[in-house]
Amino acid sequence: MNHSETYLHELLAKEHWTEEECRWLLQYLEETPGTELKSLMLERFRAHGLEVRDQALAENLLGRIHARMQPLPSFETKVVPLYRRWWKGTAAAVVISVAATMYFMQMPSKPQTAKLTPAAMEDVAPGGNKARLLLGNGKSLVLDQMADGPISGDAQLHKEDAALVYGPSGGNSSNTLITPKGGQYRVQLEDGTKVWLNAASSLEYPVAFNGSDRTVRLTGEAYFEVAKNAAKPFFVQMNGMTVQVLGTNFNINAYAEEKRFTTTLLEGAVRVVAGNQRLTLAPGEQTSLEQHSGILQRAGGDAEDAIAWKNGIFTFKNHELAAVMRDISRWYDVDIIYDKGIDEKIHVTGAMRRQDNLSQALKILELTADLHFSVQGKTITVSKK
């Protein structure tokens, strides 16, 4: 193994890459013959026990990267946030995804064929901080159209930097925060608990926790940082599942259209209850409740992958294509159509920033999934290349 290969192996084993290391990697990708690099990448795929189809994907992908890689005039620091330790364990995929992402970020604009050039497709802006607040009296407020300050004359409720903040209150009513497709929002509840709502989600909560516990109801996805209060346990209720918080930070993905509800714990402890089943999680663990069977089980999970959305990153690490496209549908507020013969169960790997336009996201997917995407209005059609 020569010095460059040794250095590459060292990079693949690291959790973070410096700007200089990223620059070296891009240069290495550009200069290394495809066959040699392919062998290294396939070795990494095999080392991590990935399936045969992933090896085929690696060959396809690497060939395409080399065929299309252009000289890179400079490194742009804005891509650094993509290198996170959630990639640990699939380092080969990291290289591929990063190379693809950086290639497209720095690629000069030039005419290309319609089939291989998603840049020619219609574009859609990413989602943003959008939400509607449904008050207990039935009044509905569109928060993204309101200025910061007190809301509805209530000194204990105000909007602040695209977040909803509740102060001490003696009220007994409940409010509901609703994000549309293409929206996300943050709320700080009366007890200091912070909740980040992902797109197409809702959270119902009392304006004051006057009872013996603190109970909220969730649809969709949210990340919670629960304020500690041993005297008042915190519960999150969804359809068929309850999460009892024993103190701490966790993410719940409970979209009705997904096959399973997942709860991922980052800090502290939570107990997940579904019927007569219950599991207590330690930090880094995840539970999965299968909606079809109703079976609750402990899942491997990837804590940082689970909350990537909250940190402004779109990640799909060996995820099913249909699930990835549902995420894209919710964030960009688009519909998805699959051409006949498309296998929606194939697995794809990649990453992009959530603030990127839809075309940028689809460019990465075209590289990682060997698919073609066309956009007309608010509809994406998925077809084979």
30, with CB counted inside 10 A (0-12, 13-18, 19+), is middle
Q: In the numeric block, which tokens belong to residue 200? A: 């197409």
Q: What is the C-alpha separation between 183 and 12, in angstroms, rounded?
A: 35
**pLDDT reading at 370 higher than 60:** yes
- The sheet with strand 335-338 has its strands ordered as 335-338, 379-384, 371-376
Neighbours of 369 (CB within 10 A): 23
Q: 256 or 84: which carries more pLDDT confidence?
A: 256
Taking only the tens place, the pLDDT of each residue in 314-338 is 888 778 899 999 999 999 999 999 9
SS3 181: coil
175, with CB counted inside 10 A (0-12, 13-18, 19+), is buried
pLDDT band for position 115 (50/70/90)?
Answer: very low
Q: Can you give the chain as a three-state secondary structure string?
A: CCHHHHHHHHHHHCCCCCHHHHHHHHHHHHHCCHHHHHHHHHHHHHHCCCCHHHHHHHHHHHHHHHHHCCCCCCCCHHHHHHCCHHHCCCHHHHHHHHHHHHHHHHCCCCCCCCCCCHHHCCCCCCCEECCEEECCCCCEEEHHHCCCEEECCEEEEEECCCEEEECCCCCCCEEEEEECCCEEEEEECCCCCEEEECCCEEEEEECCCCCCCEEEEEEEEEEEECCCCCCCCEEEEECCEEEEEEEEEEEEEECCCCCEEEEEEEEEEEEEEECCEEEEECCCCEEEEECCCCCEEEECCCHHHHCHHHHCEEEEEEEEHHHHHHHHHHHHCCEEEECCCCCCCCEEEEEEECCCCHHHHHHHHHHHHCEEEEEECCEEEEEEC
pLDDT band for position 81 (50/70/90)?
Answer: very low
Taking only the tens place, the pLDDT of each residue in 339-360 is 998 989 888 877 788 999 999 8
Taking only the tens place, the pLDDT of each residue in 265-315 is 999 999 999 999 999 999 999 999 999 999 999 987 788 789 999 989 888
φ, ψ (nearest 5 deg) of residue 15: -85, -30
Q: 27 or 104: which carries more pLDDT confidence?
A: 27
Taking only the tens place, the pLDDT of each residue in 17-71 is 665 666 666 666 666 665 566 566 656 555 544 444 445 555 555 555 444 443 3
Mean pLDDT of all residues in 192-215: 96
Query: Average pLDDT over the chain, rounded to whole?
Result: 78
pLDDT band for position 9 (50/70/90)?
Answer: low
Q: Which of 2-11, 102-111, 322-331 has the lowest mean pLDDT?
A: 102-111
Cα-only R_g, the chain: 23
Query: CA-based diameter of the chain, in Å?
Result: 71
Q: 198 or 104: which carries more pLDDT confidence?
A: 198
Helix (H) or strand (E) holding 99: helix 91-106
Q: What is the C-alpha separation between 96 and 63, in angstroms, rounded?
A: 11
φ, ψ (nearest 5 deg) of residue 308: -55, -40
pLDDT at site 262: 95
Percent of the chain with pLDDT over 70: 68
Taking only the tens place, the pLDDT of each residue in 375-385 is 999 999 999 87
pLDDT at site 86: 30
Going by their DSSP bridges, the two strands 234-238 and 214-225 should be labelled as: parallel
Predicted TM-score of the model (pTM): 0.72
Q: What is the C-alpha separation between 379 and 373, in angstroms, rounded?
A: 10
Q: 29 or 203: which carries more pLDDT confidence?
A: 203
pLDDT band for position 82 (50/70/90)?
Answer: very low
Q: What is the C-alpha separation between 285 and 265, in angstroms, rounded?
A: 6
**pLDDT reading at 236 higher than 70:** yes
What's the DSSP call for residue 207? S
Percent of the chain with pLDDT over 90: 50
Taking only the tens place, the pLDDT of each residue in 144-156 is 999 999 987 777 8
Q: 114 or 206: which carries more pLDDT confidence?
A: 206
Measured in residues, the chain has a length of 385
Q: Which of 97-101, 119-123, 160-164, 357-361 has the lowest mean pLDDT?
A: 97-101
